[in-house]
Structure formats: structure tokens, C-alpha cells
Structure 1
């Protein structure tokens, strides 16, 4: 057998390197296995916001903020579009262009008023009987909206200085009594609501003498108005009445459609008109 020369050894080494390199390239070019993940379940769109003073290109601009407790405390603000233009016209939402809410963080102070436009600035007054941490909400429907059922809600925190009498947020309960003596009882099931699921909430309304309310007077163009607030986040949720305005109530029951976006507890404020007066009922619901 012929002994390999130095040249033979060089050619052998080069061949080995070529083969090894090709193997490495082949290994690297082999695609990794693809793991297909199941698509996330589609859930109903929810309306729960007011946690920011900017949303959808609109911005809440403070002009006059509450300076202390009292009656008829002035508030003024502007709504600016993305280009900075003050917005002075919106779609009518339950007969009003602008709904304005104030809620204290313990849910024991709730105000719902409708600001008036002066020039490019919205003005209103609210009663603030006690100090504490509050949040105000401006709710409106832009003229170019694609979903008039879901308004834009901008929220701004503020505080009222001085001694404050705070109370615990009421626990979930199906029954409540208004300051005017009307009993409002939630009669739908289940008691604990699933998050991100559209549900109908039914409330049986009784007069102070225990009689079912068979017909409500129109309030804001409907049988009633309901807004909910998450008791920890202070996000706002608008609920829509089902029965048409002026329609008789079967067994005194009024129905609202709802979708809650976060788990936790919500304080719901139901406003309805009967016997020539506006009544407000507050009830807490749990969402899991």
C-alpha cells in the first residue's frame, strides 16, 4: 500500500471540512417544528372606562375644578379633539349631548348632571357634601361614531380637603331602598355575574306602600338611566334599558343590558321617575 503523502493529507482534510460544513448548513436550514396555538376565544365587546382623561383621540381639559365642599360647586371643562380643536357638538344620548358624573371612592356620593355649553366650554355645578377622593366623568357620543351605544367616557380624579366621613362600600345585596321610600330588588339570576358576558339585569320596583310600579314616567327619553362604577378601579359602565320608554312594566320589573369588563364589585345607580319625582336606587353586584 502506498503511503499517503503530505499532499494527500491536505486533500483529505479539505474534503472532511467540506462535508462537515454541508452537514451544519443542512442542520441549520431544517425548519423548526411549528406549534399552532388555539385562537383566543372571542368575547363580547364591553363598555367600561373613564380611567383616563384621554380616549379615542379626545382629551378632557380642566378649566374650573372643585375648590371645596358645598352646594352648587362650579365645574368647567373643555373636550378637545386630537388636533386640539374644542368639541362643541355631540350626538344626543338619552336626550343630552353631555352626561357628567361625580363619584366618591366609597360610593356614598353620586351625582349625575348635564353641563351647559358656553362658547367652547362646558359648565355645570355639583353638590359635594363631604371631603374625600372623587372622580368626575364626562360622557358623550362623537358625531362620527361607529357605535352609538358606546359613548366616549373621560375620567379625571380630584379631592376635597377637610375632615371626611367615609363609609364602607355596601356589600352585594339584591334589595335596596331609595331615599324616597321605593324598594328596588334585583330578581335575575345568577347572583354573581360572569365577566365579559352580556346579561340582562332585572329590577322589581315597588312604591313605598309595597305596590308594583306598573308604569314609569319618561326620564332622559327612557324608562330609566343606569350607570355602574367599579368599586376599586372607579371605571364607569353604562347600562342600556330594554323596555321602550312609556311601556308598561310586567310585575313592576325594569330590565337593563350589561357587560362588565373587570372582575370585582360594581355599584350600580338606577335613576327612574315616578309620581312626579326622580328616584335613585343604588345596588352592589359581584362579577367573577
Structure 2
């Protein structure tokens, strides 16, 4: 049996309070993660559904860092017992099509419970090996766990499809995953050379400029500025609970990364500057696709950045 004096109890209480304060500070420094919506091609078209997932006038903290807390570079088909499975090895050339897939768990059965991440339960991406043809979709799931993504016409070549998700049950509940699978589109493939690195690009009359230090494997502040006709853009609308959605693919191996702006969302008044904490794991050229919304229309700006 242990006996404590009043002074020893006070010392223990103070020590416990100090430990709690340190833990709270550590958790605050680590930040939080976010992502996910219905079947729709968000790579170049307007989307009424995209704006429906956000609430104008409300103040949200958008997320920073890599793909919603997921680990790895997205090049594996399976991780920690979870796998991206599909019976489709070939997709038609030059016409819209659907791609069906499942996520299976450690027990080999289809996963049917997913957490909502950035307003969606599944984010799906497709890109060709030369980093052209980017598509960002939000598939729909059938009761048996089969997801269906509506892909727009694809050109001949090898394509990689990515599924970004967070299980809502099981041992990996709350853990983000990014898994991928390759498919072939038949025909004569003509690779497009990767555009040279540049800090500025154009999309739908908007000018996107990127500033900041870029170094692989280390996080550095990065600012994206959006303007139109030489004037700052200040009417960005929330898209997936943020003012921009930035996806990056590594030249050569198509490694995947995902960044969120740190800028707070406050109605349809985003811009012109969006702050990111850029941390890309591998040196070399990365092809970045920045998606942002104005007037109910989604825009996609692409540019190449070199991370030394």
C-alpha cells in the first residue's frame, strides 16, 4: 500500500498538467488532415456538385501537407492488407468509358465503409505515363463495394489510376491510403514531352504564379497567386472545402502527392494568394495540377516545377 502526502500529491498534479500541456502543443503542431464526393469528372468541366459540398459564409480551415495523411507515393496496388482490385486491364480508345474497381481489406473482402474526406468518400485520379490527360473524379459505390468512375476519352498509352480513401472501420480506421493500378489504352502511343519547369501558367484566361523555395524531402512555404487580365482574383469559391486542390505527379515513375492550401475558407472571397506548405518526397520534375473554382466553373491549371 502506498501513502502520498499532500505535497507529493501537488507535485504529481503539476507534473501531470505539464505533460498534458506538452502533449497538446505537440498535437497542435502536427495539424490535421482532410479530403473526398459523387461521380463526376472534375478535370476540366464546370461542376454544380463541386460547390454543393461547401457552405458559403462558413469559416473552414483547409488542410496542408501531403495527401490527407496517407502514406507512400501511391505506386503500390496494396498496402497493409488493403488492395485496389479491378478486372479491367484495357480501356477503349478515344471515347468516354467507365472503370470499375474495388478496395479489399485484410480479410480479402470488399470494403464498403469509408470515411468522408474533403466532402468525398473516394477520390480517383487517372493520368498517362507522360503525365498528360489528368482526370480527377469522384466515383459512386454500389452496395457490394464496387466503385464506378466515369472517365472521359483517353488517348493510347499506359495509364495509371489512383484511389485515395480512408477506411471507416477495421484496424486501419482513420488511416489514409493512396493505391494505384495500371491500364492500357490500345493504339499507337505518341508521348508528349514534359513542359519545361516554369513558375507561371495560364488556364481559362487566369494566370497562376507559384513562388517559394522548392526542395525535395523538406517542407517549405509556397504561395500560389491567381490573377486575370492583370488583376488579382478575389472571387475564388470553395471547392472540396478548400480554395484549391493541388495534385502532383513525379516525372518518370508517376509518384503521387497531394497538397492543400493553408488559407482559411470564408465564402466566395478566396484569392488572390493561397499559402501551401510544399513537401514533395522525391527530387526532380513534378507536374502539378491546380484546380480552383469561380462562378460555379472549375478550372485546371497545369505546370511543371523542379524540386531539387
Aligned mate of 2:209, from 185, 193, 203: 185
Residue of structure 2 in register with 1:59 after alignment: 83
Q: Match of 1:204, SS? A: strand
Matches of residues 122-141 of structure 1 in structure 2 within 5 Å? Answer: 122-141=147-166
Compared CA separation, residues 147 and 273, structure 1 to 2 (3 A): farther
Matches of residues 245-260 of structure 1 in structure 2 within 5 Å? Answer: 245-246=265-266, 248-249=269-270, 252-260=272-280
Distance 2:176 2:237 in 1: 24
Distance 2:95 2:264 in 1: 35
Matched, 1:175 2:200: yes
**What is the deviation of 1:142?**
2.1
Compared CA separation, residues 284 and 224, structure 1 to 2 (3 A): same
Aligned mate of 1:163, from 167, 170, 188: 188
**What is the deviation of 1:287?**
1.6
Matched, 1:242 2:268: no
Matches of residues 33-44 of structure 1 in structure 2 within 5 Å? Answer: none
Residue of structure 2 in register with 1:200 after alignment: 221
Q: Where do 5+ consecutive residues of structure 2 fail to align?
A: 1-29, 31-64
Matched, 1:267 2:292: no
Residue of structure 2 in register with 1:76 after alignment: 100
**What is the deviation of 1:48?**
4.7
Distance 2:95 2:274 in 1: 32
CA contact (8 A) 1:63 1:78 kept: no
Distance 2:304 2:173 in 1: 28
CA contact (8 A) 1:65 1:74 kept: no
**What is the deviation of 1:281?**
0.7
Distance 1:249 1:235 in 2: 30
Matched, 1:233 2:257: no
State how many pairs are aligned: 238
CA displacement, residues 161-187 of structure 1 (integer Å, 9 cap, x when unaligned):
112332101121000011x12110112
Q: Match of 2:231, SS? A: coil
- Give the TM-score taking structure 2 as reference length: 0.72
Residue of structure 2 in register with 1:213 after alignment: 233
CA displacement, residues 193-240 of structure 1 (integer Å, 9 cap, x when unaligned):
222111222111012x22211131111121111111111111110112
Distance 1:278 1:158 in 2: 27
Distance 2:293 2:95 in 1: 23
> Which protein has the larger Cα radius of gyration, Structure 1 or Structure 2?
1
Distance 1:83 1:249 in 2: 44
**What is the deviation of 1:147?**
9.7
- Give the TM-score taking structure 1 as reference length: 0.76
CA contact (8 A) 1:217 1:273 kept: yes
Aligned mate of 1:223, from 231, 234, 243: 243
